[in-house]
Amino acid sequence: MLLLPVVRFWPALFPRATLLDPVVLLMSAAVPHAVLPPPVVLFVGRLQWTKGLHLLLVAVSILKERLNIPVRLRITGAGDASAFQSLAKNMRLNDCVEFLGSLKNAAVRQQMQNADLFCFPSLLSPNWTEQFGFALVEAMAHGLPVVAFDSGAIREICGQDGVYASAGNAFSLAEGLATLIRNESDALSRGQRLQRRALTEFDAEEQGRKMLEAIL
């Protein structure tokens, strides 16, 4: 029989294996470790310069090229994507950036369920500043940790659990994203607290009550 020679020369034939039974083999380290997919960063908003999408693309390039942190950026929103697509192509980001176009509400919520981080890089301009961001609050309600430029009313919405970058600074934005990607437990905790904040502070009934108190 072939079994006895195999058992006799076991160490030479299978140096990384353990013999549990003459016919049952446990091959340690035979199965390679699974490669985890990169974290998904989600942007939801109109495709216009005041929303800071161009700086988010630069931040993703910094993560990829300088910090060696792979991510997938998914972009959804109405507007002309051509300029941003060209920018992504010029920075060699086609392999990690997806333009999803304008999606229905249910599809946007699905994207939020599948994302790991939400980025809201709205900018300051002479005639516009970010006010109440519905997409931001909805992302919070889904338990997503938020990285945003410190502009407009964003800090008032997210409170102390948002991660804020200096407005208009792509390097600061990249570092904010890197902070959460490197610390999954902190990202999870922030997302949970933001979710509680969204459900308590921005519930429709609660907002109606506050409005009535302000009027009366």
**Residue bearing the bigger pLDDT, 210 or 116:** 116
pTM over 0.85? The answer is: no
Strands 163-165, 17-21: pairing kind: unpaired
Q: How close are the terminal C-alpha atoms of the chain, in Å?
A: 94
Q: What is the pLDDT of residue 32?
A: 53
Task: Indicate the SS3 state at residue 37.
Answer: coil
Higher pLDDT, 11 or 147: 147
**What's the pLDDT tens digit per position in 98-127?**
999 999 999 999 999 999 999 999 998 777
31-65 pLDDT per residue, tens:
455 678 999 999 999 999 999 999 999 999 999 99
pLDDT at site 124: 82
What is the reported pLDDT for 216?
A: 54
- Residue 175 CA to residue 162 CA, distance in Å, equals 14
> What kind and span of H or E run contains 148?
strand 146-149
Domains (range + CATH), the chain: 40-201 (3.40.50.2000)
Nearest to 139 by CA among 60, 44, 47: 44
Whether 43 and 73 have beta carbons less than 8 Å apart is answered as: yes
User: Mean pLDDT across the stretch 5-34?
Assistant: 45
Q: What is the pLDDT of residue 85?
A: 97
CA 38 from chain center: how many Å?
A: 9
Res 23: pLDDT:
43
